[in-house]
Structure 1
């Protein structure tokens, strides 16, 4: 299945998106809860960013309507953060009616299995450090001459970076 998706990567990044970022974030929380992964806001933001990056690379379109921004602790989806900051994550489940559509999406289930299989057991601190690695999209963004906190991380940086993470080695 991954090979099929990799074939789609030769076109330009589409400005379309699949889901609202808050819906995807809730799905990530519910998936984490169902599979007994600890999740907090920082870890949620990093897992959402990873899902966004993988999807962007594989499908050449954005997973969410919201673009990640460069914040001091790494990539952040501000609207998602602001809408979920006071929520009790333990109460979010895949049976929630607002998650019905996304929970039936086999592509999203495959994406979550990939993301959680590689990063689900990592701590928020580890994922923050990972997102700050030299050459990462966040790092490249914050090193721009006219950078200021809250600048959008370019999709081209994200797609290029995730290509190096998930492409088969030659």
Structure 2
């Protein structure tokens, strides 16, 4: 276990806890719900897009994947399948509690480890500051904009994308790296 400072955004330094494996998507989703759920109206659509932006910015600024699952190209933008399975029971209602990850088994919600929380917590807070005031529909529309990885893949399939089509990590890294450059930040080299 190694703690390394990789980058600074708006005077907030992120210390990334390096592991051999990225984090699972459901504990990351639960962290958003724990921090910003309840009165902040995080619905399922918004949660999916917050996770996507977190993964994308992490790729651009860290070079490697944060989430162990690749987002898929779905009708309303990028979707993490396991998060969909765990939270789809909420429909378009606000998600008011973290989930165990298995809607049939119940049990305690799955959480990030303390080290993972320390590493990704500042990024989650930054993402919320950037995107949290927007609706899920607004965030979905942003993922559909011309030139986004979702839009390029959907257009290449004439907007009839086969089920399970993933957005490659390199595509997200390239897109979010360009956003970082537009802000005057130096993206990290792509590490996959």
TM range (shorter): 0.7 to 0.9
Match of 2:81 in 1: 78
Match of 1:148 in 2: 162
- CA distance, structure 2, for counterparts of residue 104 and residue 156 of structure 1: 23
Match of 2:23 in 1: 19
Match of 2:172 in 1: 158
Match of 1:90 in 2: 96
Shift of 1:102: 4.8
Deviates more, 1:127-136 or 1:23-32: 23-32
Q: Contact between 1:102 and 1:108, CA under 8 Å: does it hold in 2?
A: no
Shift of 1:138: 0.2
Match of 1:169 in 2: 184
Deviations 1:46-103 (A, max 9, x none): 000000101111122111111000001100011111022226831339xx77426258
Deviates more, 1:72-81 or 1:17-26: 17-26
- The structure with the greater share of residues assigned to helix is 1
Deviations 1:91-142 (A, max 9, x none): 339xx77426258733211101110011001001100110000000101111
Q: Which runs of 5+ in 2 are unaligned?
A: 9-19, 100-107, 186-192
RMSD: 2.7
Match status 1:110 vs 2:122 = yes
Shift of 1:29: 1.4
The alignment's TM-score, normalised by the length of structure 2, stands at: 0.71
Q: Contact between 2:33 and 2:97, CA under 8 Å: does it hold in 1?
A: no
Q: Which runs of 5+ in 1 are unaligned?
A: 7-15
Deviates more, 1:77-86 or 1:40-49: 77-86
Deviations 1:11-45 (A, max 9, x none): xxxxx6421111111111112127x4220100000
The alignment's TM-score, normalised by the length of structure 1, stands at: 0.79
How many pairs does the alignment contain?
A: 156
